Amino acid sequence: MYQHQPPVMYQHQPPVMYQHQPATYEQSTMESAMNSTSAPSPTVKSQRPPSRQKLNLVKCLICHKTGHRAAECRSRVRQEPSNRQRAPLLVRPPRRAGRGGRRFMTPVYEPDTQREPSMNNSKESLNQGTLEDIPIELMNMPEEYSLGHCVAKDMRMSAGIAVYFKRKFGRVGELMDQRPNVGSVAHLQENDRFIYYLITKELSNQKPTYNCITAAITKLRDLIVEHGVKKLAIPRIGCGLDKLDWSIVRGIIEIAFQNVGCKIKICHFIHNLSKESELLRVEHPRTIKVRKSIKDIEKRKFEKLNIILFSRKTTLPVYWDQHFESVNEKYCFKSQYCKDYEADLEVGQCLYYRTMEAYIFVIITNENTIDHFSYQNLETGLVKMKMLINNDQWHPTFVIHSMNNYIFEYLINKKIVSLICTTFLELTPCLIIQIVNSNS
């Protein structure tokens, strides 16, 4: 029989209160290893190792160890400078840390300029009085001052203050015969005064670079030391039409002329630099390049062409090339030219032949063909030629042949045109017809 049993009464026990204690990294790893085979406990959970940000660990920037800052590092004493060279400890602004990182201050040693007055003051004393800006035009400076300015290698000098140098001092052919390269300096001497031409670019329509003007200023310093110049006057070189920054160029001059002992005056040529291109541009003879023979060149009515030929010899046999031959086929001047060669010729001499339609000028530029082309002798012959046509022609037309021999100099044709433009500047407007070879 089934006997009824009374229900068992359960006595309620209060729950046990556990006090949570954070486990360390070693305890958590040990418990996870012991419970790896058994079922995981529902009350105890494995904890990840705390990050450095939670532990608030700092790292020393000197010894690269954690637990202390750079200001508290004991090895800092060995890396600090001595008391005589000690500089103040400056702190840069805090760097922006990456994701999860923290910002920290970077101690940096920076030199204290006030603690070393001897070196800096000596540099200031060397530069003091070397450069001085004065509101005087460069051409009005006393003759005790040597002058200098920037030009191109082709020596065209068609704009800016170079026009005034060309008009006042001339002797462009003498400058060309020095054959200066970009970054060097050509010069003229007038009694005890020197005129310096800094070559800062190849062509007049180009712009110079800071490397080129630095090389030219360095060469100028060497020439000033060699010539014993103590006073120099220059404009703001490279900063007018060439558009360079004067603060940079001035710094280059100060560095180059340190310890030289030459006083440099910076003259403001005009007060309004924005109008320099308008005020100082001079109209030069117009040049036209044609690929024709001398036979095909047409002249205007009541006009005579001025044909210029260059002879490279002063003695027999007679100098004769393809340019002489082409002109002789149309104007027939060879017989008289050969008679003139029987006499003693000199460099810079200008032979003159007059025909019905043209004037033929032969300028003796060299004593022999193996020498460099002499621009100075060409300039002398052009001046004599100018005296012959000055009263007869108002707006003359000149015809020249391009020289195809580039062994001596590849800018020879540009320099010849520049020299003709300079010589006949007073006869402008005039025209220069340059016959160019078809394969050049």
Tell me which residues are annotated as active site.
201, 242
What DSSP string runs through 18-83? PPP----HHHHHHHHHHTTSSPPPSS----PPPPHHHHT--B-TTT--BSS-GGG-TTHHHHSPPT
Residue pair 100/224 in contact (Cβ under 8 Å)? The answer is no
User: E strands, 341-385, where?
Assistant: 350-354, 358-364
Are the beta carbons of 430 and 392 closer than 8 angstroms? no
Residues with Cβ < 8 Å from 341, sequence gap 6 or more? Answer: 316, 318
Question: Residue 84: left if φ>0, alpha if ψ -120 to 50, beta else—which one?
Answer: alpha
- Looking up tokens 């922006």 gives 96
State whether residue 215 is helix, strand or coil. Answer: helix
* Spatial separation of the C-alpha atoms in residues 393 and 149, rounded to whole Å: 35
Report the 10 Å Cβ neighbour count for 28: 17
